Amino acid sequence: MAGFDLLKRLLVGRKLASTKLGETLLPKRIALPVFASDALSSVAYAPDEILITLSLAGVAAIGLSWPIALAVGVVMLIVVLSYRQTVHAYPSGGGDYEVATVNLGPNAGLTVASALLVDYVLTVAVSVSSGVQNARAMLPFIAGHEGMVAAGLIVVLMALNLRGVRESGTFFAVPTYAFMAAVLGMTAWGLVRIFGFGQQLRAPTADYDIVGSPDYTPFAGLAVVVLIARAFSSGCAALTGVEAISNGVPSFREPKSKNAATTLALLGGVSLSMLGGIILLANLTGLKLNDESGGSSFFYQGQPVEAKMDTAMGQLALTIFSDFPAGFYVVLTATTVILFLAANTAFNGFPVLASILAKDKFLPRALHTRGDRLAFSNGIIALAVAAVALVLAFNASVTALIQLYVVGVFVSFTVSQTGMMLHWTRHLAAQRDPRRRRAMMKARSINAVGLVCTGVVLVIVLVSKFTHGAYLAVLAMAAVFALMKWIRRHYDTVEREVAVVPSEANLLPSRIRAVIAVIDINKPTLRAVNYARATRASTIEAITVAVDPDEAAAMMAQWDADDIKVPLKVISSPYREVVGPFYDYVKGLRSENPRDVVAVYIPEYIVGHWWEQVLHNNTGLILKSRLNFLPGVMVTSVPYPLKSSKLAARRASRNTAAAWRRPGSGQVKVGMPRE
């Protein structure tokens, strides 16, 4: 442990850097929009889905929308209270994955992780689809092309994230507060008009009749109970994103946990107000929605209505701002923007979760570290491809996609609440202070209520939606879970295989045989020769593959003339292959001397332009890629910078500095020299 302490002492400055620099700590007024855009945006589609599901049972069922919204509100209240406990108990930002892993073991953690990964994909698909539906109210020409438009937008989001958007707090704050102001303002103005001025507000669909599905009419029996459960399940989409704050605790200002808990309460309050307001106004204005996939249809004066309806947000904005058309555009623009912002949040969250999973070896290790841009990009691309596939398969229908959604987040809620129960129980066993014990008991009972509530909702969601699409989400989660288990098993196997055996730790290879690949005789080749000579290998030889004898003879003569201090060997190649015979030669060398190491030196040009790569290094690159699969053969690239690369290098070093180095990185070096 001496090394550990010394390191800690030496790393004091660094620790500060790790937590302070780069990620500025957020005041509550900025933290709310940063972490809440996902949660808030779901009020744009949750009310719609309640109304659409109920429409399957005809116009009479619409009246059930407010008790269902109330139930959703109660669940949200309980979930918010529960997560306030999590925020206090796990301030490190590991979120549900950490809670589940610590208290219930890796399989529970992995279950949560699978659920969340699948839900990130669905967040993108649902948010963008809903954004497109809201935009459709303003831009009618979108109608009929929703799938393609949504796919295109996801590709744009992907491109932005691949280029690396650096979001500031303001980036989130402006649209989030604009959305809150627009929706709450609309609600308030609507209530003032109705109750203050006593005006009669009628939604565009107020006079329509709904013909529901024959399965739910007459409006009675078990089928209708299931339908109400489904409407409630869809409404629970309003809860997605609540868990985001528990991942973000480290970004809050001190006192972190307290501020995070307050922000969570604020979020809950705002969400509830918006959801309640929309459902209330929908009931007051006679707003209706039908199922575009054909489950229910509108009739007006006995005639079927063919046109596609605006979203609830669109109809309300039109109705309430009938005297102020700009209001309609403000509300719908704010709604559309926040939905895209919510999708963008998933593009940030997915790679972060993947990074945590990679650290625990459930995903490729390369995802763990930043700076490995390639790997990070792969995560973004994977998310985008999956989301595009979904919106195209479901033609960007929120109603269809919502059947797959919510499962993941409630799996995560339920497992996490179970973990919190165990957490408090464990801590209670060790705690003697009666005041603290009381606080813990209280916290445990809150989490117990949370567990029961989210567990019941999970069952309701699964039962009511399973055959409507939830089974797909469950299958995807199971597949992700299995894949991650399998990756971890692979890494564990390899780790055992390559574990250090102390007795063999310092075994040197008996000899090093250096081989220089010669293509032309020039400065790069000589540099490779001289570097190889400087390593004082046991044997050293230059090898060239002769495609035609005259060329080989000329090369031999020049090698002589230049008085190079290493022998040149020629390998014949009657069929003008270069790589094959060289590979065979190196392989033969290795087979004859299995305890030796063969070190192959390949001269390489450093070029200044990409197109120069086409003209140089090709043979060397192919040689390298082939030799890299030979055990006992070290391949060394010996670089020779061409003039053209000098300018490019100067340019690149400027760009590199900006792109790769952040302040504080790599500055504090810790030396541990042992003689």
- Cβ atoms of 514 and 540 within 8 Å: the answer is yes
Q: Which is nearer to its own copies, 435 or 576 (CB)?
A: 576
Q: How far is the CB of 433 from its own copies (least distance, A)?
A: 29
Q: Which is nearer to its own copies, 374 or 430 (CB)?
A: 374
Sign of the torsion angle spanned by Cα atoms 613, 618, 620, 622 = positive
The three-class DSSP label of residue 447 is helix
Q: How far is the CB of 339 from its own copies (least distance, A)?
A: 30
Q: Which is nearer to its own copies, 411 or 568 (CB)?
A: 568
Q: How far is the CB of 394 from its own copies (least distance, A)?
A: 29
Q: Which is nearer to its own copies, 8 or 438 (CB)?
A: 8
- Cβ atoms of 211 and 68 within 8 Å: the answer is no
Q: How far is the CB of 124 from its own copies (least distance, A)?
A: 23
Q: How far is the CB of 578 from its own copies (least distance, A)?
A: 4
CA distance 193 to 191: 5
Q: For 72-158, where are the E strands, in sequence order? A: none
CA distances from 616 to 312, 527, 624, 627 (A): 62, 17, 14, 19
Q: Which is nearer to its own copies, 324 or 660 (CB)?
A: 660
Q: For 253-306, where are the E strands, in sequence order? A: 297-300, 303-304
CB burial of 239-274 (b: ≥16 within 10 Å; e: otherwise) equals bbbbbbbbbbbebbeeebbebbbbbbebbbebbbbb
Q: How far is the CB of 159 from its own copies (least distance, A)?
A: 21
Residue (of 86, 116, 109) closest to 443 by Cα position = 86
Q: How far is the CB of 353 from its own copies (least distance, A)?
A: 14
The three-class DSSP label of residue 564 is coil
CB burial of 464-497 (b: ≥16 within 10 Å; e: otherwise) equals bbeebbbebbbebbeebbeebeebbeebeeeeee
Q: Which is nearer to its own copies, 16 or 225 (CB)?
A: 16
Contacts of 247 (CB under 8 A, 6+ apart): 93, 94, 95, 349, 352
Reading across the β-sheet that carries 303-304, which strands appear in turn?
209-211, 297-300, 303-304
Q: How far is the CB of 313 from its own copies (least distance, A)?
A: 39
Q: Which is nearer to its own copies, 254 or 675 (CB)?
A: 675
Q: What six digits make up the tokens of 302?
A: 């006995």
Q: How far is the CB of 547 from its own copies (least distance, A)?
A: 6
Q: Which is nearer to its own copies, 348 or 619 (CB)?
A: 619
Q: Which is nearer to its own copies, 163 or 576 (CB)?
A: 576
Q: Which residue has the tokens 């055992």?
A: 496
DSSP string, 388-441: HHHHHHTTT-HHHHTTTSSHHHHHHHHHHHHHHHHHHHHHHHH---HHHHHHHH
